[in-house]
Structure 1
Amino acid sequence: METVYGKLRQHGLVRPTQGRVLGGVVAGLGQRFGIDPWPARLLFALILLAIPGTQILIYPILWILMPAEAAVAPSERDASIA
């Protein structure tokens, strides 16, 4: 049985290691849907303002459920460049 992390990672929902402001949740959502981080943050804030109080629940839950992007080891990075 796959874990929640595995399913989210399979669908491309990961928190990037670079470009984070707080937890990287919105940057990861933007990355998944092909939006730059700052417009994604603005859109996320506008959506959450439309439904007051949801940001208290949604952001921490996504922060817990979304896996961090796996860091590439230096040897793997060098092999991919060659």
Structure 2
Amino acid sequence: MKKRLYKSSTDKKVCGVCGGIANYFDVDPTVIRLIWVIFTLVGGSGLIAYIIAAIIMPDEM
């Protein structure tokens, strides 16, 4: 069985990107969200990456 990366439809705050990444790597979504916030605050690239991921990642079915 092949793992696929999808936006989460059940564990989402904004678009489900962090929830989907957490499901893919089998970690707590809060950890992914904290890492994403750190990237956003440190260099600002986290916000751009989140927007791109929200557009590119397919929705969970």
Q: TM-score range by the shorter chain?
A: 0.7 to 0.9
Equivalent runs, 1:57-72 vs 2, <5 Å: 57-70=48-61
Q: TM-score scaled to structure 2, two decimals? A: 0.81
CA RMSD of aligned residues (A): 1.6
Q: What is the CA-CA distance between 1:47 and the residue it aligns to? A: 3.2
Asked if residue 22 in structure 1 is aligned to residue 23 in structure 2, the reply is no
The runs of at least 4 aligned residues of structure 1 exceeding 6 Å deviation read none
Report sequence identity in percent. 28
Deviations 1:32-62 (A, max 9, x none): 1111111111122223333x12123111100
Deviations 1:17-39 (A, max 9, x none): 10110000011111111111111
Q: Which runs of 5+ in 2 are unaligned?
A: none
Secondary structure at the counterpart of residue 27 of structure 2: coil
Residue matched to 2:46: 55
Q: TM-score scaled to structure 1, two decimals? A: 0.63
- Contact conserved, 2:6 with 2:58, CA < 8 A, in 1? yes
